[in-house]
Amino acid sequence: MKRLLLLLTLGATCASAETLLVSDFSGFTAGYYTEALDGPWSEATALSGATDFTIGDFGSGTPSGAAGNGFIQELASGPQDWSGYVTLSLTGFASLTNGTDQLFFRAEDINGVASLVAAFDLSLFADGATTVSVSLDFTGLDATQIAYWGFVVNDFDAAPEFGFTFDHLELSTAPIPEPATTVALAGAGVLLAGFAARRFRRRA
């Protein structure tokens, strides 16, 4: 019985998590692009669609994965309190020609202090539209007053081609489940299904 209560508690915790949509990238236009020595990402290498935003090669130069390239966006509603959020989920897909390994999420507080607070392994997005969740680390920032956000690449060793389509970006108060927790939640579902089946048979 105690085990069942634990499993139900875990399930309830996940179900009650709060989320905050950062962007669905519909008709998205970056506030500004950061600069790198080999030439920054710019409107020439960006394509905004009805439901997504892409950095790629559109005949105006191949976007580089060298250190410093990226885009920054101001929160339209003003500074927001992100201190309670611990997970960032990105939905998108890497282009077939993408050669960049990692994509970093950048946050900046109202005092102008900026930091790379999360990192995405782009190989996880290589097989089409995928949602990947990573943990956030706001160390050094005033997470109660976040004013800007964006994505940058930080490849100091080379300048590989970068290509990625952004579709959805969301914060969550729910931590990424540990493997044991994931197994426990799956077990809770099996147990609940079993109880429901037994009740159905008894009524029959």
The token pair at 133 is: 């969740």
SS3 20: strand
- pLDDT of the residue at 178: 67
> Residue 166: enclosing H or E segment and its boundaries?
strand 164-172
Q: What is the mean pLDDT of residues 164-183?
A: 80
Statement to judge: residues 167 and 187 lie in one domain:
no
Statement to judge: residues 142 and 192 lie in one domain:
no
Higher pLDDT, 157 or 140: 140
Number of domains present in the structure of the chain: 2
Statement to judge: residues 137 and 97 lie in one domain:
yes
Statement to judge: residues 143 and 202 lie in one domain:
no
Burial of 9 (C-beta count, 10 Å sphere; 0-12/13-18/19+): exposed
Only one residue has tokens 């994505």, namely: 151
Q: Whole domain around residue 197: which residue ranges?
A: 1-17+177-204
Give tens-digit pLDDT for 98-136: 999 999 999 999 999 999 999 999 999 999 999 999 999
Give tens-digit pLDDT for 68-78: 899 999 999 99
Statement to judge: residues 86 and 123 lie in one domain:
yes
On the question of pLDDT at 203 being above 60, the answer is no
On the question of pLDDT at 11 being above 70, the answer is no
Residue 185: pLDDT band with limits 50, 70, 90: very low
Statement to judge: residues 52 and 142 lie in one domain:
yes
